[in-house]
Amino acid sequence: MPPVPRTLAMAPDADGDQATSAPSGSSDGVMVPEPFTLVVFGASGDLTRRKLVPAVYDLWCDGLLPPEFAVVGYARSTKTEDEFRAGLRTGVEEFSRAESLDEVSWQRFASRLHYMSGRYDDPSGFRALRKRLEDDAEQGAGAANVLFYLATPPGSFQAIIASLGESGLARRGTGVAPWSRIIIEKPFGRDLASARDLNRELLAAFDERQVFRIDHYLGKETVQNILVLRFANSIFDPLWNAKYVDHVQVTVAEQVGVEGRGPYYEQAGALRDIVQNHMMHLLCLVAMEPPLALDAEAVRDEKVKVLRSLRPIPPECVAEGVVRGQYVAGEIGGERVPGYRDEDGVAADSVTETFVAMKLFIDNWRWAGVPFYLRTGKRMAVRMTEISIHFKPIPQVLFGAPPRGPLQPNVLSVRIQPNDGISMRFQVKVPGPAMQIEPYQMDFGYADAFRRAPEAYERLILDAALGDRTLFTRSDEVEAAWAFVEPILEGCRGCPDVCPSTYPAGSWGPAEADTLLEADGRKWMLVRRPKK
């Protein structure tokens, strides 16, 4: 397989971080990181098997990892290296981009997978890890640069960070060679105070420039394409503001339920699981001003400005502007599926929301008065993540006046998944003697134009190894997102009726979500069925 070119060529940071993160080589113009060892905490878990190792394997097969690359898995379960490799092999067979597993590549790759068991708060375990990394680097079985990946449940984050600090593995500072960096999974905290605590602990052990807070949505090609659409084309930016845009809709709809993660989801709900992170990133990319450059600080500066411009939804206003729902039993794809309260690990009287719809405003010059409608839910009618920009209607003269008008306004839709692409709705004349006008949809599909894109985790692991933080969340960004979401969470707790409305699995959420837009004379964008 030929290497996949990186789509956004990011400039080195203005702060000179590039000096310690210079890639060691290139293959066909594609950057390959310096030799490094990936240390995965939580290596016996599902994320490692389903996402991380298949992504790393695909990068390896594409020649995007240095030959000295190695993985050291660290987790609490006791297992042999052979058992560890065998478990990961099934993950690669099932989830890698490769159509079938090539035995020779696998054997070469597998020889670089190692495993250690230990507790996350045990100094002797971390001493042993340090010794192993140093020995491996000396003997050429690994590299001295280390990328730590926290793939554990969030309850273990603090212990691991403290142990990395105390054992000297964190090597605080960016001018230090060999480097060490840390990738930390979401959820980053469960409210503003816990996110701040986590940031404090993280930044006591590491420098902010060593920290890579991951949100896999930012690794999706189509999410990155929002910036390209907006800033690599001259025709959109002049229209991208309150003068021309009537409103914006963002939908993240999933068909899956909680997939065996009941206990986690009970604590999270849709607000923490999707709105605070994935949806805030989408919103920022759609609404932000052009950054000064495509470097990490400039892009993230603009995203933070959007988050800080969000009009707060105080707890007492949550009942009006926010709709919460919870799915009950229903049908998806012709199959009966249970309600949320019947899922494993979910309380029979749970009031956790599996659906949220809300209207929000960005109080800045560009977006003054433009409503942004967000909705997300599990067990929805279709799987679909889409952003649609609804332009203002034409004046009520000429074609806009009766009997022809009012005509349907123009809509630009960015489909993140599935059937990734972009479509534009505009009016055309129906051929014939009469002036008959109909809306037409012009469509661009990624799959028709390009070959299969790399998975989000491939891009993100590679970027972290290259030291590029653009697609990772900065400390102030994560805190600004929590600062917006927290009063909503508080309002939900304080609602006289804390029970979310119900909706049948396989539907589009509770009726109140439709009312939210209908009250403003608008409707949720009609959903096109995914291509068969």
> Catalytic residues, which ones?
278
* 385: amino acid identity, one letter: T
- Least separation in angstroms between residue 266's CB and ligand BG6 is 12
- Residues in region 433-452 near ligand BG6 by CB under 6 A: none
Other beta carbons within 10 angstroms of residue 96's beta carbon come to: 19
**Binding positions for ligand BG6, 223-242, rule CB under 6 A:** none
| Smaller CB separation from ligand BG6, 240 or 457 | 457
| DSSP tally for the chain: helices H, then strands E | 16, 19
Q: How far is the CB of 378 from ligand BG6 (least distance, A)?
A: 7
Beta-carbon contacts of 16 under 8 Å, excluding residues fewer than 6 positions away, are none
Rounded-to-integer distance, Cα 372 and Cα 362, Å? 8
H/E run at residue 489: helix 475-494
Q: Are the C-beta atoms of 410 and 244 separated by less than 8 Å?
A: no
486 in contact with ligand BG6 (CB under 6 A):
no
Closest by CA position to 466, among listed 6, 54, 1: 6
Cα–Cα dist 487/311, whole Å = 11
Asked if 353 touches ligand BG6 (CB under 6 A), the answer is: no
| DSSP secondary structure code for residue 310 in this structure | B
Distance of closest approach, residue 8 Cβ to ligand BG6, in angstroms: 19
What one-character-per-residue DSSP string does 172-229 give?
A: -SSS-SS-EEEEEPSP--SSHHHHHHHHHHHHHHS-GGGEEE--GGGGSHHHHHHHHH
Q: What's the closest the beta carbon of residue 271 comes to ligand BG6, in angstroms? A: 12
* Amino acid in position 363: D
> Is residue 458 within the footprint of ligand BG6 (CB under 6 A)?
no
Q: Is 68 in the site for ligand BG6 (CB under 6 A)?
A: no
**Residues forming a β-bridge with 40:** 73, 149
CB within 8 Å of 215: residues ≥ 6 apart: 186, 277, 278, 281, 472, 473
Residue 397 Cβ, how far from ligand BG6 at the closest point, in Å? 44
Instruction: Indicate the SS3 state at residue 86.
Output: helix
Is the Cβ of residue 22 or residue 256 nearer to ligand BG6 in the bound state?
Answer: 256
| CB-facing half-sphere around the CA of 402: CA atoms within 13 A | 0
Per CB under 6 A, 455 contacts ligand BG6 = no
**Closest alpha carbon to 118 in 160, 154, 153:** 160
Q: How far is the CB of 256 from ligand BG6 (least distance, A)?
A: 6
97 versus 127: smaller Cβ distance to ligand BG6? 97
Shortest-Cβ-distance residue relative to ligand BG6:
273
C-beta closer to ligand BG6: residue 256 or 519: 256
DSSP per residue, 105-144 = HHHHHHTTEEEEE--TT-HHHHHHHHHHHHHHHHHTSS-S
CB of 487 vs ligand BG6, minimal distance in Å: 22
Q: Could you say which residues in the range 273-292 bind ligand BG6, by CB under 6 A? A: 273
Size of the site for ligand BG6 (CB under 6 A): 3
Q: Is 428 exposed, middle or buried (0-12, 13-18, 19+ CB in 10 A)?
A: exposed
Residue nearer to ligand BG6 on the CB measure, 254 or 420: 254
Over the Cα atoms of the chain, what is R_g? 24
| Contact call for residue 185 and ligand BG6 (CB under 6 A) | no
Query: Between residues 86 and 256, which has the closer beta carbon with respect to ligand BG6?
Result: 256
- Would you say 501 and 510 are in contact if contact means Cβ atoms under 8 Å apart? yes
Nearer to ligand BG6, 153 or 445 (CB): 153
Q: How far is the CB of 273 from ligand BG6 (least distance, A)?
A: 5
Of 254 and 486, which CB lies nearer to ligand BG6 in the complex structure?
Answer: 254
Residue 254 near ligand BG6 by CB under 6 A = yes
Which parts of this chain interact with ligand BG6 (CB under 6 A)?
254, 256, 273
